[in-house]
A and B are shown apart, each in its own frame.
Chain A
Amino acid sequence: GQQLNQSPQSMFIQEGEDVSMNCTSSSIFNTWLWYKQDPGEGPVLLIALYKAGELTSNGRLTAQFGITRKDSFLNISASIPSDVGIYFCAGQLYYGQNFVFGPGTRLSVLP
């Protein structure tokens, strides 16, 4: 099946720093989603992207749909302790198909 790669696998940052992570695929996707999973909970949708080049924000989070349609990026500004968790990207090849999930980026925020 289709596979997504996420980079980095894990990261440790200081509180207040900005964070960047990305998701790549060898296939072209028509929709990208970003989820966050708090420890011991299920993933929660953060941002949805529908068009190549689209830039969407949700508070301190900003995500972009890559212009090649093979990648997506998530940035978190001024990180805080509650940003800790696993961030998953998910892509959809075409409308109606199930989403494919990446392996996740584990974020740790040091006080």
Chain B
Amino acid sequence: DVKVTQSSRYLVKRTGEKVFLECVQDMDHENMFWYRQDPGLGLRLIYFSYDVKMKEKGDIPEGYSVSREKKERFSLILESASTNQTSMYLCASTVTGVYGYTFGSGTRLTVV
């Protein structure tokens, strides 16, 4: 069964900490995405990547960075976590030309 795996389901971090959210897919997909989900706002795109070492800003990149050193892995980095980054974070992947993203189960991050 194909999968997008996010390393943590729940995380609690302190304000100012550097936070890494990891995502791995086993489907050889070129495209990977990071979204955050907040009630009433739906899914908002933070960053995406079309290939190894490539990254593009989404709609809300401020306060975040990403890393894609290997095709199967896409990491989201919060350089200095803040309370307004408390949210559900979803990773997704897809093959170019194939509609429909495959999502991970999400990481619920709480910043205190």
Contacts and interface: CB of A to CB of B under 8 A. Distances in A.
Interface of A: 1, 4, 9, 31, 33, 40-45, 48, 50, 88, 92, 95-96, 98-99, 101-104
A42 B45 contact: no
A103 B40 contact: yes
Interface of B: 4, 33, 35, 40-45, 48, 58-59, 90, 92, 96-97, 99-106
16 contacts: A9-B40, A33-B99, A33-B100, A40-B105, A40-B106, A42-B90, A42-B103, A42-B106, A45-B102, A50-B99, A98-B33, A98-B48, A99-B101, A101-B43, A103-B41, A103-B42
Contacts, number: 47
B105 A41 contact: yes
B99 A31 contact: yes
